[in-house]
Structure 1
Amino acid sequence: MAGSGTWWKEEVVYQIYPRSFKDSNNDGIGDIRGITEKLDYLKELGITMLWICPIYQSPMDDNGYDISDYCALAPEFGTMEDLDELIAEAGRKGIKIILDLVINHTSDEHQWFREALEHPDSGFHDYYIFREGSKPPCNWRSIFGGSVWEKVEGRDEYYFHAFGKKQPDLNWENEKLRRQLYNMVNGWLEKGIAGFRIDAITFIKKDLSFADREPDGVDGLAKCTKGSRNQPGIGAFLKELKQETFDKHGCVTVAEAPGVPYEDLDEFIGPDGYFSMIFDFRYADLDIASGSEWFKRRSWNVRELGGKIMDSQMAVQKYGWSANFIENHDQPRATTKYLKEAQDDPQAVKMLAAMYFFLRGTPFIYQGQELGMVNFERQSPELFNDISSIDQYQRSLEEGLDPDEALRIVNLRSRDNARTPFPWDGSRYGGFSQSRPWLPMTMEYPVIHAEAQSGVQDSVLEFYKSMIQFRQHGPYRDCLIYGSIRPIESSGNVIAYERQKDDVTIWCYYNFSHTGTQERLPDDAAGAVGIWGNDTDAEIRDGMLCLKPFQAILLKQDVPQSGTHS
């Protein structure tokens, strides 16, 4: 068993996008009571923790990541009593709750920012980053497009926003502001949640010189990440945040920390690191030039994917613990992204799931991933809700793409792909709501839905249940949770790795091809048999493992074969 300080290593986390999970009052928007209604589904799936995306009061310009009151809930999601009920009911079922923590920026409708605009001589003005002048202080581009500087109406003054213009960045240099944030964080932890997923946390320190940089687009701007992410001195802020909040509660913290160099991981997730674990986006973004420029597509292959995954695993293993994922609210569906034309093949979907799930770290499942959901295909740019998708479409046109190609690229990468309402059944609007949802369904009458897969032996949903059960309660749980990992040399369409703890070694093979292939086993794997997979038939000849198309198989020495989990 893990020590009390690392209990989160044994969790399986399920991410909920509350607007799109379940609508309990038929207003077209998912809500907290909808989550409570589906706790039995989540319990049966086998997850042990829920990460709920922002439910705080917000004008929803960026779907809740623009918070106007940290201590109140958005009315569309319900009341604080609804949240108390969810925390209590989930707890009775052995399910913990973590919330999003968004402390790089607020909404421009937050009372602090309103006071800053109305009373520029007040202390609230220094809660944000303002600069005087008749033109933008520098040529940095925000993550969502356009300048990071927005002019204050009626004054020769600009405020800084790394993301949307309705998301002004907080000034972390201000100690009074930091104390306000820490009080808020402690208040939520005292409410009974288990911790936080922490949004955009590596943006809280800026290069305060705000010097122009070499333009990297036809708009004459330069991406802001070079001056507003992972800047020198950020460690002092992160250390103080941990000491004043997280350390006092023994909570779990999962940082969205893109751009952290592997050599700095010890500071972030080492024994005295700022966080329990972080997400690494290097393999998630291998299909684009950078996380903020979707329109710059790049080709990739399975060998490159496997290399990025194992580079990440080996780097994190050296210092701490990983948060493993293939989908989230900012990513397209993994089926479409990683499997391409095989996205509708259940065997391929299962193989992909097992490949990431048995990596070293805590696995995260995004809602609908356990059904094998795929991307949508919108026919018009007007059908997108996500502000980043809309910006990417416009930037694509500015960079010379024709409208059809721009729409194709945004369809492939839009954050709306993962934000479509959850399909509970095959009825209109998928049983999510009886009213038209806030965002169009992937399919208005979904073919992929929970009701069609529940209890069906060969379904993707039942495979996920089996997979979670095997990691959490199977005979090799200690090895699969706590064991070390190392890559196994494999052919171009196969990702393979070894998990090892004490005297237990498990060899894991995943064939990403629609054709069979042969892989040479490590010398100590001679005589191994299949113990789990989407097909546990381990055909081994002369030290070669013969993998079937899209086969996922875990091998171990000297154990009787269990049945196939397909």
Structure 2
Amino acid sequence: MADKWWKDSVVYQIYPRSFMDSDGDGIGDIPGILSKLDYLKRLGVDVIWLCPVYESPNDDNGYDISDYRSILSEFGTIADWEELLAQIHARGMKLIMDLVVNHSSDEHAWFVESRKSKDNPYRDYYIWRPGADGGEPNDWGSFFSGSAWQYDERTEEYFLHLFSKKQPDLNWENPKLRQDVYDMMAWWLDKGIDGFRMDVINLISKNPALPRVEQGEGWRFGGEHFMNGPRVHEYLQEMNREVLSKYDIMTVGETIGVTPEDAALYVGEERNELNMVFHFELMDVDSGPHGKWDLKPWDLRDIKRIIAKWQTGLEGKGWNSLYLNNHDQPRMLSRFGDDRTYRKESGKMLATLLHTLQGTPYIYQGEELGMTNVRFASIESYKDIETLNMFAEQLAAGRDEADIMNAIYAKGRDNGRTPMQWDGSEHAGFTTGTPWIAVNPNYPDINAEQAVNDPDSIFHYYRQLIALRREHDVTGYSGFRLIGEEDERVFAYVRSRGEESLLVVLNFFGDQAEFRLPEEIGFSRAERLIGNYDPPANLRRALLRPYEAQVYRLFA
């Protein structure tokens, strides 16, 4: 596959509302990000992914955009943003922006016009339908609970919203809408940004018949009719032809419900669509049959199977994106590690996994500090619309409140949205005012100041991993061979290049585990590259310590 700068990059995701507040209003902002660029440069990241800072009524924390070419005043001004871009580039880093074009805000000028009348020129920028059989156009459900349809009295029709009712879906069947989107994308790229992360981009094509799901009173959704829809690849190839191909940029698409076979169509290097996709298969490893909020323990064998499937499934075809948490997911250390006794060890172990696979690693803000999930005492402390809707719906359905709160503690999106923990001062140094959402109470012990001053911290381990990727060209190792597929405690694999191989050994649990290197994996010399403990005495048969991680270069 072709060499590209984004294949050798490490991306750092900023959720601006929670990163750093410069003016004491309790909301993170662009000048706050500017003040922390040297911190990010010291960490060693190459690319900053900035979650939405556009004009928005904030029904879904900025993913409901009312003006794609304006900056929300609580984040700053367009001049602040331009200075941020200039300072990122001055430090040799790049900036990618969120592109949210499956839906807009209902306060966007397009939708304000669209709902005025059935013959308005902007009517077909959105998906409007009359009712059917005395009810809604079909039985699709919203990702944020309830129906995906909202009735509008003015024109006596319904509009589709796969997310909040304040996030009406755009109608990509309309070529004028598509051209307006492409013009907006080019406007930002001409300002000098280095690419886009594309929000739920594989939902933009719906089955035009909008058929019913016909699942009775059970789980209603309709995803098979709007995930990877009939024209999605046509639209993305058009987008690439009209816009993306004209710039040296990176693109990553958030794609719900894709398999490696689906992903190869989005990221195949000869298909001229996207560079990478985020898939969700690993994020569902601890979900029961009723979805995200139906908790079940994860099984390491499932984690290994999923990662191996994606590593081998895209080999020679396309590029992987590597992540274990983001603004929509709980903290990876609480989910897959030990956020108490072995916080440092498990944080380093999980980081080792992400940075030694084929693909581009994504670090979510605070991950490099070992930030953890939060357990607010009351639902009143939570802010996320998905969480609040689910709580109300399931409480009304008779589910025990304590059971619902436990699901929120495990899976709620606000776990990843509590303010960045900068130091041990009040509100973790995030703001001099009252933060928009409470800081995790463990900030006196887990914060950037402490981590930077501790040479054994998770922060400095991340720096070593990032340096290792550059020094040893970890991305250049091809292939993926899983060792001990049925081992319930140890995740080990080999990646190869010519006469040498990369061996990664990870203990996923808080007690000792035995690892045996198969005899058929021969080597004349082994060089330990990185680990979170001193190397074991015998690589062929090692007794791994709690959450131990070791990476070796093996020579034939």
Match runs of 1:463-502 below 5 Å:
463-472=461-470, 474=471, 476-477=472-473, 479-489=474-484, 491-502=487-498
Secondary structure of the corresponding residue to residue 353 of structure 1: helix
Secondary structure of the corresponding residue to residue 495 of structure 1: strand
Q: 1:7 to 1:512 in 2, by over 3 A?
A: same
Superimposed CA distance per residue, residues 173-227 of structure 1 (whole angstroms, 9 cap, x where no aligned partner): 0001100000000111111000000001111111222222233756xx6113222
Question: C-alpha distance in 1, partners of 2:554/2:208?
Answer: 58
Question: C-alpha distance in 2, partners of 1:370/1:232?
Answer: 40
- Is the CA contact (8 Å cut-off) linking 2:333 and 2:372 kept in structure 1? yes
Q: Specify the alignment match of 1:136 in structure 2.
A: 136
- Is the CA contact (8 Å cut-off) linking 2:44 and 2:463 kept in structure 1? yes
Shift of residue 245, structure 1, vs aligned partner: 1.0
- Is the CA contact (8 Å cut-off) linking 1:9 and 1:481 kept in structure 2? no
Which of 410, 413, 416 in structure 1 is aligned with 2:411?
413
Question: C-alpha distance in 1, partners of 2:82/2:436?
Answer: 25
- Is the CA contact (8 Å cut-off) linking 2:102 and 2:204 kept in structure 1? yes
Secondary structure of the corresponding residue to residue 154 of structure 2: coil
Q: 1:343 to 1:259 in 2, by over 3 A?
A: farther
Match runs of 1:85-96 below 5 Å:
85-96=83-94
- Is the CA contact (8 Å cut-off) linking 2:501 and 2:555 kept in structure 1? no
Shift of residue 536, structure 1, vs aligned partner: 4.1
- Is the CA contact (8 Å cut-off) linking 2:212 and 2:222 kept in structure 1? no
Q: 1:341 to 1:425 in 2, by over 3 A?
A: closer
Letter in 2 for 1:520: R
Question: C-alpha distance in 2, partners of 1:17/1:416?
Answer: 11
Shift of residue 444, structure 1, vs aligned partner: 7.5
Letter in 2 for 1:549: P
The question of 1:554 aligning with 2:551 is answered yes
Letter in 2 for 1:66: D
Which of 506, 512, 521 in structure 1 is aligned with 2:508?
512
Question: C-alpha distance in 2, partners of 1:153/1:339?
Answer: 50
Question: C-alpha distance in 2, partners of 1:505/1:52?
Answer: 35
Letter in 1 for 2:93: I
Q: Specify the alignment match of 2:208 in structure 1.
A: 208
Superimposed CA distance per residue, residues 115-137 of structure 1 (whole angstroms, 9 cap, x where no aligned partner): 11124311100100001235311
CA RMSD of aligned residues (A): 1.9
Q: Specify the alignment match of 1:393 in structure 2.
A: 391
Which of 26, 29, 54 in structure 1 is aligned with 2:27?
29
Shift of residue 352, structure 1, vs aligned partner: 1.3
Letter in 1 for 2:545: K
Shift of residue 446, structure 1, vs aligned partner: 3.6
Report which stretch shifted further, 480-489 or 163-172. Answer: 480-489
Shift of residue 289, structure 1, vs aligned partner: 3.5
Q: 1:24 to 1:344 in 2, by over 3 A?
A: farther
Letter in 2 for 1:437: P
Secondary structure of the corresponding residue to residue 49 of structure 2: strand
- Is the CA contact (8 Å cut-off) linking 1:148 and 1:224 kept in structure 2? no
TM-score, normalised to structure 1, is 0.93
Gaps of 5+ in 2: none
Superimposed CA distance per residue, residues 308-330 of structure 1 (whole angstroms, 9 cap, x where no aligned partner): 11112111224210110011000
Q: Specify the alignment match of 2:59 in structure 1.
A: 61
Superimposed CA distance per residue, residues 374-423 of structure 1 (whole angstroms, 9 cap, x where no aligned partner): 10001111211100011222333355420111111112111011011101
Superimposed CA distance per residue, residues 243-292 of structure 1 (whole angstroms, 9 cap, x where no aligned partner): 111111121100101212322333211112310011121112211147x9
Question: C-alpha distance in 1, partners of 2:339/2:98?
Answer: 34
Q: 1:249 to 1:374 in 2, by over 3 A?
A: same
- Is the CA contact (8 Å cut-off) linking 1:313 and 1:360 kept in structure 2? yes
Q: Specify the alignment match of 1:182 in structure 2.
A: 182
Question: C-alpha distance in 1, partners of 2:87/2:538?
Answer: 48
Match runs of 1:286-297 below 5 Å:
286-289=285-288, 293-297=291-295
Q: Specify the alignment match of 2:499 in structure 1.
A: 503
**Equivalent pairs, count:** 550
Q: Specify the alignment match of 1:564 in structure 2.
A: none
Superimposed CA distance per residue, residues 416-469 of structure 1 (whole angstroms, 9 cap, x where no aligned partner): 110111010011110000001111111275421000111311111111111111
The question of 1:101 aligning with 2:99 is answered yes
Superimposed CA distance per residue, residues 72-130 of structure 1 (whole angstroms, 9 cap, x where no aligned partner): 11111111111111111111111100000000000000000001112431110010000
Secondary structure of the corresponding residue to residue 543 of structure 2: strand
Report which stretch shifted further, 486-495 or 418-427. Answer: 486-495
Letter in 2 for 1:488: I
Q: 1:547 to 1:351 in 2, by over 3 A?
A: same
- What percentage of aligned pairs have identical amino acids? 39
Secondary structure of the corresponding residue to residue 167 of structure 1: coil
Which of 347, 364, 367 in structure 1 is aligned with 2:365?
367
Report which stretch shifted further, 149-158 or 65-74. Answer: 149-158
Q: 1:558 to 1:234 in 2, by over 3 A?
A: closer
Match runs of 1:427-438 below 5 Å:
427-438=425-436
- Is the CA contact (8 Å cut-off) linking 1:116 and 1:125 kept in structure 2? yes
Q: Specify the alignment match of 1:152 in structure 2.
A: 152
Question: C-alpha distance in 2, partners of 1:70/1:437?
Answer: 26
- Is the CA contact (8 Å cut-off) linking 2:342 and 2:546 kept in structure 1? no
Question: C-alpha distance in 2, partners of 1:344/1:515?
Answer: 10
The question of 1:283 aligning with 2:301 is answered no
